[in-house]
C-alpha cells in the first residue's frame, strides 16, 4: 500500500506541475483572446542603440516606430502602443490605482476584444486628441458598480476621459494588450514622445500571411542603417527586429539584442520538461521493483500452480495501467482545482488559467506507455524465491 501511494502521488504530482506550467505558458505565448491572430503577428518590442562609448537597450520610442517601421511590405495593419503604466485615478475622493495603456485606433482592429458596452475609440479620436477611453469590466465595477459606464467620465492621472467602451478583463500575462484602461496616444501631456528613438512604445504588425514574415524582417533590417541619430558621437547604430512572441522572449532572455534564439529556447523548455518527467520515472522504477519484490511469495505460488511468465507479466501490465490511469485521474482533478484556485486568488491579475487537454493527454499517454509496455513486464527475468520454496519463479521488470 505504501509503494502504491508513492506511485500515485508521483504520477499525479508530476501531471499537476506540468499542467500548471503549461497553463502559464499558454497565457504568455498561446493564441487566446484578445490575441487571436498571433500566427501572423510580429512585434517590434525592443531597440538597442550602440556607439563607441557604450550601448542602451530598452523599449523603442514612438518617433522611431512611426518613421522607420511604418509601411513595411506585407503588413496589413500596424499599431503603436505605449507600455502599460501604473496610474492613480480618483472616484468619490478615493484613490484607485489602474494600469493605463496609450494606444491608437489600429490597436482595436488587430486585437479581438470582447466588448460588453460600446466600442473602441478610433484613429480620428487619436488624431483629434479626444479624451476618450475604453475600460475593462473590473474598472467599471470599481467606479460604477453594476451600472452602465458608457458616456460617463473617469479621472486618471489628472486627466478626465469619457468612457466609450467596456471590454472583458485581459490577463496581465498578455503583455501587449493588457490594461485596465486604454486611451489615445495623443492624450499624453507633452508631444516630445513623437521624436524619441527610445522610449516606452512598441509596435504590433499584422502580416497579410505568415509567408510575409521574411520580407517584413528583411525590409526592417534594411531600414536600420538610415536611422538618424540626434548625437552620432553617442550612438550611431540601431539594432532591433520584427519578432514573433517566442522570438521576442528568446531575444530578451537569451540574446544580445541583435539575435533571437527561438529554437534554442524551445529546446531548453523541452529539455527541462523531459528532465522533469524522467527523474520521477527513474524513482518510480525503483519503487515498483521494490513493490514487486514484496510480492515475491505470491508470484512464486502462482508459478508453482502453473502460471506462465507471460501470464504474470500481463498481470503487472494491467495493474500498472490501472495505477497510471488512477494517478492520471487524481492529477486531472488536482490540476483543475489548483488552476481554479490560482485564477480566483488574484495573484495573477485577471488570470483565467485553463487546462491544456492536449498536453495532459500526451503526458498521460507517455506515462501509460513507458509504465506499462517499455519497462513493466515486457522482459520478465528469473530470480530465486526461497520464501515460497520455488527455485524458478519469474518476476517481471517494472517501471512507472
Three-state DSSP class for residue 355: coil
71-80, 183-192, 377-386: the lowest-pLDDT one: 377-386
Residue 327 has pLDDT above 80, yes or no: yes
Model confidence at 351, in pLDDT bands (50, 70, 90)? confident
Instruction: State residue 141's pLDDT score.
Output: 93
Closest residue by Cα to residue 198 from 146, 147, 238, 143 = 238
Integer Cα distance of 28 and 173 in angstroms: 5
User: Rounded distance, CA 224 to CA 17, Å?
Assistant: 43
Return the biggest CA–CA distance within the chain: 95
Higher pLDDT, 170 or 175: 170
Give the whole-angstrom CA distance, residue 220 versus residue 165. 34
Q: Which residue has the cell 489548483?
A: 338
- Give the mean pLDDT of 286-309: 77
Own/partner contacts of 83-88, CB < 8 Å, gap of 24 or more, are 83/59, 83/200, 83/201, 83/202, 84/178, 84/179, 85/200, 87/156, 87/157, 88/156, 88/157
pLDDT grade, residue 285 (50/70/90)? low
C-alpha 103/C-alpha 175 separation (Å) is 14
Percentage with pLDDT > 90 across the chain: 44
Angle (CA) 69-70-74 rounded to 5° is 95
Helices (H), 79-121: 107-110
Give residue 361's region: left, alpha or beta (phi > 0; psi -120 to 50): alpha
- Helix 262-293, helix 245-253: angle, nearest 10: 90
pLDDT at 346 over 90: no
Contact at 8 Å (CB) between 49 and 237?
yes
Q: What is the pLDDT of residue 392?
A: 43
Task: Judge whether residue 288 has pLDDT over 60.
Answer: yes
Cα–Cα distance, 44 to 72 (Å, whole number): 12
pLDDT tens, position by position, 231-249: 888 899 999 989 988 887 7
Q: Highest mean pLDDT range out of 18-27, 100-109, 172-181?
A: 100-109
Closest listed residue to residue 372, CA positions, set 281, 298, 307: 281
Percent of the chain past pLDDT 70, that is, above it, reads 85
Q: What is the mean pLDDT of residues 24-42?
A: 89
| pLDDT, the chain, mean | 84
Helix axis angle, 296-304 to 309-345, nearest 10° = 150
Q: Which residues of 119-139 are buried (b: 16+ CB within 10 A; e: fewer)?
A: ebbbeebbeeebbbbbbbbeb
Mean pLDDT of 335-360: 88
Which carries the bigger pLDDT value, residue 344 or residue 269? 344
Question: Is the confidence at residue 48, as pLDDT, over 70?
Answer: yes
Per-residue DSSP letters for 225-254? GGPPPS-TTT--EEE---B-HHHHHHHHHT
**Least reliable range by pLDDT among 30-44, 141-155, 180-194, 347-361:** 347-361
Cell numbers representing residue 163 in the block: 468612457
Residues 117, 166: Cα–Cα separation, whole Å? 5
Mean pLDDT, residues 155-175:
93
> pLDDT at residue 396 above 60?
no
d(CA 264, CA 271): 10
Please tell me the predicted confidence (pLDDT) of residue 280. 67
How large is the angle between the packed helices 2-29 and 309-345, nearest 10 degrees? 50
Amino acid at each position: 500500500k505504501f509503494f502504491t501511494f508513492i506511485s500515485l502521488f508521483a504520477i499525479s504530482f508530476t501531471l499537476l506541475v506540468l499542467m500548471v506550467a503549461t497553463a502559464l505558458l499558454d497565457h504568455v505565448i498561446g493564441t487566446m483572446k484578445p490575441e487571436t491572430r498571433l500566427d501572423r503577428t510580429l512585434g517590434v518590442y525592443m531597440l538597442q542603440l550602440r556607439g563607441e562609448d557604450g550601448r542602451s537597450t530598452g523599449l523603442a520610442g514612438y518617433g522611431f516606430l512611426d518613421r522607420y517601421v511604418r509601411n513595411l511590405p506585407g503588413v496589413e495593419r500596424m499599431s503603436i502602443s505605449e507600455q502599460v503604466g501604473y496610474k492613480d485615478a480618483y472616484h468619490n475622493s478615493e484613490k484607485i490605482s489602474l494600469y493605463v495603456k496609450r494606444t491608437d485606433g489600429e490597436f482595436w482592429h488587430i486585437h479581438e476584444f470582447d466588448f460588453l458596452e460600446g466600442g473602441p475609440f478610433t484613429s480620428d479620436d487619436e488624431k483629434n486628441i479626444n479624451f476618450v477611453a475604453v475600460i475593462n469590466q473590473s474598472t467599471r465595477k470599481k467606479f460604477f458598480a453594476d451600472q452602465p459606464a458608457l458616456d460617463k467620465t473617469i479621472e486618471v492621472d489628472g486627466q478626465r476621459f469619457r468612457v466609450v467602451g467596456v471590454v472583458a478583463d485581459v490577463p496581465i500575462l498578455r503583455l501587449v494588450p493588457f490594461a485596465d484602461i486604454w486611451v489615445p496616444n495623443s492624450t499624453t501631456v507633452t508631444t516630445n514622445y513623437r521624436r524619441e528613438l527610445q522610449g516606452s512604445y512598441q509596435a504590433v504588425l499584422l502580416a497579410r500571411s505568415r509567408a510575409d514574415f521574411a520580407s517584413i524582417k528583411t525590409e526592417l533590417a534594411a531600414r536600420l542603417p538610415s536611422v538618424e541619430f540626434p548625437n552620432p558621437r553617442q550612438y550611431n547604430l540601431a539594432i532591433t527586429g520584427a519578432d514573433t512572441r517566442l522570438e521576442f522572449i528568446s531575444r530578451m532572455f537569451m540574446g544580445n539584442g541583435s539575435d533571437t534564439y527561438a529554437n534554442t529556447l524551445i529546446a531548453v523548455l523541452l529539455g527541462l520538461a523531459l528532465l522533469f518527467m524522467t527523474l520521477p520515472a527513474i524513482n518510480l522504477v525503483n519503487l515498483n521493483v521494490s513493490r514487486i519484490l514484496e510480492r515475491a511469495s505470491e508470484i512464486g505460488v502462482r508459478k508453482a500452480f502453473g502460471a506462465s511468465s507471460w501470464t504474470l507479466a500481463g498481470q503487472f501490465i494491467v495493474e500498472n495501467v490501472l495505477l497510471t490511469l488512477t494517478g492520471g485521474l487524481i492529477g486531472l482533478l488536482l490540476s483543475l482545482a489548483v488552476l481554479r484556485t490560482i485564477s480566483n486568488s488574484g495573484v495573477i491579475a485577471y488570470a483565467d488559467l485553463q487546462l491544456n487537454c492536449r498536453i495532459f493527454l500526451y503526458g498521460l499517454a507517455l506515462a501509460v506507455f513507458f509504465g506499462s509496455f517499455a519497462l513493466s513486464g515486457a522482459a520478465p527475468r528469473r530470480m530465486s524465491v526461497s520464501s515460497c520454496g520455488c527455485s524458478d519463479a519469474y518476476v517481471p521488470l517494472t517501471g512507472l
